[in-house]
Amino acid sequence: MARITAGIACSHVPAIGVAMDQGITDQPYWQPVFKGFEFSRKWNEENKPDVVFLVYNDHCTAFDASVIPTFAIGCAADFTPADEGFGPRPVPVVKGHQKLASHIAQSVILDEFDLTIMNEMEVDHGLTVPLSVMFGDRKPGDDWGTLVIPLAVNVVQYPAPTANRCYNLGKAIRRAIDSYPEDLNVHIYGTGGMSHQLQAERAGLINAEWDQNFMDMLVNEPDKARKIDHVEFLRETGSEGIEMVMWLVMRGALDEKVTEVHRHYHVPASNTAVGHLILENHG
């Protein structure tokens, strides 16, 4: 049977990908950011997943203002890195697991969560940056080392889904994966955040105390974290902090009790707080 063995929370700051692509990760500004992922890459090698179920948000590449699905699952055989204005990132094409993705789509929809099924979709930094920090430098033509199922969540245009809705969706995804008959080691990623605002009067906002408390809640009190409303996310973490609802999808798919094996937090990275957790299921 397929099983989720771990959950990874990870900021997907686009400048992190740029630093890797340009080979400047050893510069003083970037060193503390990437040092926090050294353990993660070693752990990833020792606990290599067959499939990564990666929850992220699209940044107006696959979708624009004409069509914005709340939840969209990628069921394609592959997903090409998108051109985000400066050309696509020089990273490998992302390979999907179509059979598992289709199984999850059917299970979750029949579990009364409406998903948009994407049989063709480009992916942007929201998905490729977390893969890069966990799997290391990969170039076009390389292999990521895992198959990936993308789940795009709308946190760009109001209304975004609530933290509670995302947490419950994670539980539905867990039920779907648990019922898949093939023996697969699955990791689930929740990406985005942490606190940051990129525009208007509060541009540059970072709330380190709130971020750390949120990570504590996510690990030990997920029922408390799932009750955080949109107003609190906006007030405490800035307009882009709402991305953290995607961490709740990841947490909902894990056991009630988890083991925190790694935490990394650093500010700033391109005016953003970088947060990262590795959580293992007890089973």
Reading the block at residue 183, the tokens are: 């023996």
Cα–Cα distance, 240 to 249 (Å, whole number): 17
Span between the terminal Cα atoms of the chain, in Å: 13
Pairing of strands 3-10, 274-281: antiparallel
Query: CA 17 to CA 130: how far, in whole Å?
Result: 9
Active site residue 59: no
Phi, psi of 7 (to 5 degrees): -125, 140
Six-digit token string for 151: 């789940």
Name residues whose C-beta falls within 8 Å of residue 81's C-beta, 6 or more positions apart in sequence: 88, 89, 91, 93, 94, 122, 123, 124, 128
Question: How far is 113 from 116, CA to CA, in rounded Å?
Answer: 10
Q: Which of 12, 97, 103, 196 is catalytic?
A: 196
Measured in degrees and rounded to the nearest 5, phi and psi for residue 148 equal: -135, 135
The answer to whether residue 125 is catalytic is: yes
Q: Are 140 and 92 contacting, i.e. CB atoms less than 8 angstroms apart?
A: yes
Residue among 12, 97, 103, 125 flagged as catalytic: 125
Kindly list the catalytic residues: 125, 196
